Structure 1
Amino acid sequence: MSSKTIFKVAAVTLLVSQLLACDEQKNEQTSEQVAQVSQTDNSSNNTSQNTQQDAVTQFTKYNIYNKEDQAGSLSVEQSGNVYSSDMELGWNNRVVKMQEVITVDEQGYITSQTVKGVSAFGAPIDESFNQKGSIAQWQSTNEQGEEKVEGKKFYVAMDGTGVANSALLKAISNSETGKVDLLPSGQAGMIKLDSVTLDNGTEKKTVHLIGITGFGFSPDFAWYDDDYNFFATDGGGWFGVIPEGWGREHLEQLQEIQKKADNQYLKDLADKLIHTSEKPILVTNANYVDVITGKLVEGQSILVEDGRISKIASDIPAGDYTEVDANGKTLIPGLWDMHGHLSKSDGLLNMPAGVTNVRDMGNTHDNIVDIERMSENNEIMGSDVYRSGFMDRESPYAMKMGKTVDSLESAKAAVDWYAENGYPQIKTYSSMEPEWIKPLAEHIHSKGLKLSGHIPAFMTAEEAINAGFDEIQHINMIFLNFLGKNIDTRQRLRFTIPGEKAHELDLNSKEVNDFMALLKEKGTVIDPTVSVFRSLLLAEAGKVDPENAAIYEHLPVTVARNFKKAWMDIKPEERDAYNKSADAMVAMVKKLHDSGVTVVPGTDSIAGFTLHRELILYSQGGISNADVLKLATITSAEVVGNEENVGSIEEGKQADLVFIDGNPLEDMNDIRQVALVIKGQNLYKPDEIYEEIGVKPFTKSVDFEL
């Protein structure tokens, strides 16, 4: 939700990025839930549609691949100006089924569109757009609108199979300015980066790597032919799409080129936005939070040399320094996201949010190693990376991303591989066999690694802890310990049961207190990701997700619209229970903390912003602000075993300094007001970064001269 990187618009990356924004959402759908598409009546399009009778029909079927095998398919039929598409994509317990029909005019602008189906999280999809003359109207389960269009505007659906992107590129290519105005708002353009000719033995095909700008925080890249028809895309190592007749070897060829182009785009941004000081950095007039004592230390100067804090004093003599006047702002150590699923662009959200350290809880090996290396070398903007090796057992619900195993011996072999490749931790997923956990934990511990993850299906959290779990991911797994053992948590039940029943659990009961005592005794760490679970339970169609309401107006419109979607198909009569259960999850985090259990904050969703919300929820739940900051800094550093180098503002430690325009010890909402970030010898101005990616800054950055 990981998240990570959301709101892609190419055929599958639109969906995949939203779905992977959370490592913990649900969907269990049947074909009967998918509504059949009927084309919208539109008298203004009669002439255009009548011409389709004589048009040549073109049909293309695409294969959607995950890391190991096929995950779905996309079929596209074009007849004249009418495009029809049908997509099905599945992984873990999530299945997306969607059908789309669009009609375009001669310039590529949409005149009518219908999208119907079921989202990965269970919510129905039913969207339509229609333009008669200058009047454009759109309606979905999430929003409706009408506008008198002056000139030409291209409608952007909230959901879709991606087929509209080909029409959009044609509209952009026909534009004199190279830009197209969007409905409901915004503007799109394109970047052409590379071309390649493929040969499958019977056909040669020249395709072009094109990025669509204006839809999200960075361009969405995919491959198109000479006529801007979609051909293929790489979903950042998660999923890839290519037509039948072209094999995985062709997809891998394109992926390598696309990866280099993505890397170069991000490197150009890094060169522009990372300010590296060759001289020592002197911060003056600073008030900093000693996260170990929870106290504010006022009126200090901090000297950074060779990326480390060499001196903290009330006065440091002048010298040949890059000087930064904190002007009384509050400095805190760099924040930690202890549940990320990193993409190479996440640093554009993490660094301006003051998130300088990320524990990645599941990724492809090549991707996370690239991110780690490129971040260290300033080739991309990025946090320090701490890796977890991902593992799931082969099953219809397997999340095929890291290592998929079919026996205890193959699971142990996977552990050996991760240990040899520098992973300090293993994360297991929901399909793992309960009987494997004890011997697997012993093997993991023998290698000096830790074991964390989802509680396997048909197992309780208490059983997993006694079998050797060092850490549990997600707050729902804590509640499920009390809601029944024989639950197939590979399926949607791991979401619906806590949604329906979490609020009924007495947190002061003996069984809860006994479980808290066990967690404390075993030293078990809890990574609750409570904000993303509240989004799951609270989001309603047509309403701004309360978890993201505070940032809604700061985001690009095409991104913000996604926070007006329902994730789950929650019935009206269930709403009260789900709302109360969302609050119970915050109360459980407070119960864990008060019981002496180590809690670490993570996102599993959109980078940067979600961590701020996670910390605000902890504060609102009753944990003191000083303790919240401690959990997000030195406690997290202790959990990964690097507290000697990072996690607090102390002499000798790595310089991870976040300047807050306000005082989060008094008001945790101030955590969003990041005015400067210093990491090592690098300085980051949040307002500068946010403006580059279309985000309205939260405060003005501290200025300095190199």
Structure 2
Amino acid sequence: MDSNMRFFNTPDYPFMKAIFTLFLLLSIPYCLAAQAPTDTLRYVVLTNGQLSGKAWLLPQGHDVTGFLTYNDRGRGPKLTTHYTLNDQHIPLTLNVSGNDYYKNEVHETFRLADGVAHWKNADEKKDIPITKPAVYVSNVSGMDAMLTQALFAAPNHTVNLLPTGQSVMTQILTHSLKNGQPVTLWAIRGINYTPTLTWLDSKGYPLGSIGDFFVTIREGLEADIPELRRLQKAEDGKFYRQLARTLPEPIPQGLVVQNVNLFDAEKAQLVPAQTIVVKNGRIEQVGSAASVKIPAGYRLINGAGKTVLPGLWDMHVHFTNPTDGIIEVALGITEVRDMGNTDALLTLRNQIDSMQLIAPRIAVMSGFIDGKGPFSGPGLRVTSVEEGIQAVRDYKAKGYQSIKLYSSIKPEWVAPMAAEAHRLGMHVIGHIPSYMTAEQAIAAGYDEITHANMVMLNFLGDTLDTRSMGRFTNVAQRAAGLDLSGPAFARFVQLMQQKHIAFDPTASVFEQMFTSESGQFDPTMASVANRLPGPVQRTLYGQGLPVPMGMAATYKKSFATLLDAIKRLHDAGILMVAGTDNYAGYALHRELELYVQAGISAAQALQMATYNPAKLSNRLGDLGTLTPGKRADFILVNGNPTQRISDIRRVDYTIKDGVLYDSKKLLNSLSIHHYSEP
């Protein structure tokens, strides 16, 4: 179930924009003024346990008003809303204004009059006749209270949705808070991939939204958060364990994929007419279809016209939502590197390894460390180099393989923290701290650079404050003018070569941020948007940065410069790994397409999602290639992605530890259409 929906992701911590959407779609409506009147329902916004914002809700008969604001490293929304209801709690009018997470101006209106629904926002202008009552789902704010009030009052707790669909709310359990107030956990279906959990009071108003990192809660009820989270997670667990029991197909007798084209990930080339034999979770045989004998009783899959590849890696995720895991496995991802999370990650990893959840193996965990301050990211926050060194040791003790340093770390702390990480055998990666360049970070001990914008910032000097939006806007506005054929870039490439620095570009997030347009689907998801549930599709519009007047072409040229840098670094022999920090599963496919768009061959792009991650993660003994004795982690694709990279989207089966996952069944369980369906 989606107690933390992830329609959107953002660089550095992908579920932050998802949480913004969760808050908007499923939490609290917002108001016309920042000062709350008396008798309001007041809420606090907590990120990583720290106060980061506020919200309030004021119902007055048929009129409802509210307000929301929070700060996430200089980003975050400030939204005001007013809506009116009829006697059946169906919205008649809606007005939303303010700014969204990336500071884009927001203005949305809706009205229902004379049997026609009229709405307008940055992406849509619609006039739709309706014949039965329906609740408008805002493209900006969503209105949980607006939706939950209607569901709460409706017969069978069922309402029709505008523009499309139907939503049903089911009571899960009741609970008494510490103050004796009764609250109810409900599951709302029809607005996301899976039922969405929300806590309501006895009148149907939201109590809050309880996530691991991000929480909204009624003011004064903060002490109830741990128990509400525990109860919510227990219900989540029931749902996902049921899927994990019914969707995988164990193959105790063994599996054979016959007469298939096999991708040799080490050499980045295709080997035709091969047969691969699997037994007890391991690859037993690989060889020409003519020479491999098929053992009796093994399950046989005809691979004619298809390609088998090692399971894909996404080297930049923040795994919080089990729904994402199902999508990722369905789309061929068998391993991920988590790039910063709460300690809940350890529990999730154990649940995945014990097959209680369908999800990729969390092959690498990166401990997130940032300096304490107004722009701090999630994870451990430190106030001195001594605390930073201790944080490195703490992560090592918990089994983490790498550390991720973030933007508020003081530059002079990097070298001693990196030295301690290296002493403990840990990999050092991260954002380049504010007032530091990538070259300086490499000299101080970085082993890898994450995000292509961090490479571009190297050539904009060490005087920039990149703790907030500046790390995006400076690159969007200035990268177009950089000369990548000049000596500065050549020296940087040489330094990366000499120090054996790896690179995780996350290109798709910058295509999203620099090139998205209002009224158009986010380019990361444009080719698959029509496969998703209707309410989810509408969240995919225009996810870019605010673009100053007359600079749209510059932003797009800056993205082209990022792709040029990726190609040049690849050609220079820099070890590159495919990571996304973006939508689950689909973003990795787009990431590989962008590498090819940059001029890298399709086979080499696939190598960046198979062999290279296993090499960087010291897992080639078990993963990364299809050779006898290794884990049976591979995918069967309908087509030849070494010739046409977009064929990587045509996954039929994913095999992980010898267990078969039917891509169509997994996606259909989330109301997503498979590529093979109309």
Give TM-score, length-normalised by structure 2. 0.93
Greater shift in the superposed pair: 306-315 or 130-139 = 306-315
Q: Is structure 2 residue 183 aligned with structure 1 residue 207? A: yes
For the 8 Å contact 1:460–1:480, the answer to whether it is kept is yes
- Determine the structure 1 residue equivalent to 2:595: 618
Equivalent in 320, 329, 332 of residue 297 of structure 2: 320
What amino acid maps onto 1:242 in structure 2?
I
Deviations 1:541-563 (A, max 9, x none): 22222332111212222222122
Mapped partners of 1:547, 1:207: distance in 2: 39
Give the CA deviation at 1:133.
2.6
Asked if residue 7 in structure 1 is aligned to residue 7 in structure 2, the reply is: yes
Matches within 5 A, 1:362-373: 362-365=340-343, 367-373=344-350
Instruction: Out of 685-694 and 430-439, give the one that drifted further.
Output: 685-694
Name the amino acid aligned to 2:216: V
Counterpart of 1:64 in structure 2 is: 45
Alignment of 1:84-163 (within 5 A): 84-160=65-141
Kept in 1, the 8 Å contact 2:4–2:19? The answer is no
| SS of aligned partner of 1:126 | strand
- 1:492 is matched with 469
Cα distance in 2 between the residues matched to 1:573 and 1:81: 43
Q: Which moved more, 1:177-186 or 1:609-618?
A: 177-186
> In structure 1, how many angstroms separate the alpha carbons of the residues matched to 2:595 and 2:5?
24
> Corresponding residue for 2:256?
282
Alignment of 1:251 onto 2:251:
no
The equivalent of 2:552 in structure 1 is 575
SS in 1 for 2:624: coil
Task: Give, as a single letter, the amino acid of the residue that structure 1 aligns with 2:334.
Answer: T
Selected match of 1:172 from 139, 146, 151: 151
Distance 1:436 1:4 in 2: 34
- Alignment-derived partner of residue 25 in structure 2: none
Distance apart, 1:178 and its partner CA: 4.5
Is the Cα–Cα contact under 8 Å of residues 331 and 586 in structure 2 kept in the other structure? yes
Amino acid at match of 1:352: A
Distance 1:583 1:4, change over 3 A: farther
Instruction: Please give the secondary structure, in 1, of the residue aligned with 2:376.
Output: coil
Q: 1:4 to 1:336 in 2, by over 3 A?
A: farther
Residue 537 of structure 1 aligns with which residue?
A: 514
2:339 to 361, 371, 374: 361
Cα distance in 2, alignment partners of residues 537 and 592 from structure 1: 21
| Distance change >3 Å, CA 633–CA 14, structure 1 → 2 | closer
Identity %, equivalent residues: 32
Change (3 A) 1:15 1:602: closer
Distance change (3 Å), C-alpha of 1:493 and 1:317: closer
Deviations, residues 235-263 of structure 1 (Å, cap 9, x unaligned): 2x11112212223x211110111011111
Within 5 Å, give how 1:514-593 maps onto structure 2. Answer: 514-593=491-570
Distance 1:270 1:20, change over 3 A: farther
1:606 is aligned to 2:583: yes
Q: CA separation in 2, counterparts of 1:325 and 1:232?
A: 51
Cα offset for 1:686? 1.2
Q: For residues 16 and 509 of structure 1, what CA distance do their matches in structure 2 show?
A: 37
1:278 Cα deviation from its structure 2 partner:
2.3
Contact 1:5 1:346 in 2 (8 A): no
Distance 1:636 1:306, change over 3 A: same
Ranges in structure 2 where 5+ consecutive residues have no aligned partner: 22-29
Per the alignment, do residues 194 and 636 of structure 1 end up closer, same or farther by CA in structure 2, a change over 3 Å counting? same
Please point out which of 667, 674, 677 is paired with 1:697. Answer: 674
Return the match for 1:193 from 172, 177, 181: 172
Q: Distance in 2 between matches of 1:305 and 1:80?
A: 66
Aligned-partner Cα distance in 2 for 1:476–1:360? 20
Matched, 1:291 2:265: yes
Worse-superposed segment, 572-581 or 553-562: 553-562
Are positions 1:346 and 2:320 aligned together?
Answer: no
CA contact (8 A) 1:4 1:346 kept: no
SS in structure 1 at match of 2:550: helix
Residues 14 and 126 from structure 1, CA distance in 2 versus in 1: closer, same or farther, beyond 3 angstroms?
Answer: farther
Q: CA RMSD in A?
A: 2.2
Correspondence for 2:162: 183
Q: Structure 1 600/15 Cα, relative in aligned 2: closer, same or farther at 3 Å?
A: closer
Instruction: Read off the aligned partner of 1:232 and give its amino acid letter.
Output: G
Partner of 2:373: 395
Q: Is the counterpart of residue 224 in structure 1 residue 203 in structure 2?
A: no
Q: Is the 1:37–1:114 Cα contact (8 Å) retained in structure 2?
A: no
- Structure 1 residues 302 and 332, CA, compared in 2 at 3 Å: closer, same or farther? same
Match of 1:78 in 2: 59
Residues 558, 700 of structure 1: alpha-carbon distance in 2 compared, 3 angstrom cutoff: closer
Q: Measure how far apart 1:14 and its partner are.
A: 13
2-structure distance, mates of 1:561, 1:15: 18
Contact 1:57/1:79 (8 A) holds in 2: no
Q: Is the 8 A contact 2:667 2:674 kept in 1?
A: yes
Alpha-carbon displacement from aligned partner over 1:334-373 (angstroms, at most 9, x marks no partner)? 00100001122211210111011110001101x2112211
Which residue of 417, 441, 455 corresponds with 1:478?
Answer: 455
Between the aligned partners of 1:543 and 1:149, the Cα distance in structure 2 is 25
User: CA 1:19–1:563 in 2, change beyond 3 Å: closer, same or farther?
Assistant: same
Quote how far apart the aligned CAs of 1:299 are: 2.1
Measured in 1, the distance between the counterparts of 2:145 and 2:475 equals 41
| 2:419 aligned counterpart, secondary structure | helix
Find the partner of 1:266 among 237, 240, 243. 240
Could you tell me whether the CA contact under 8 Å between 1:4 and 1:342 is conserved in 2?
Answer: no
**Which letter does structure 1 place at the counterpart of 2:645?**
M
Query: In structure 2, what is the Cα distance between the partners aligned to 1:508 and 1:211?
Result: 56
What residue number does 2:27 align with?
none
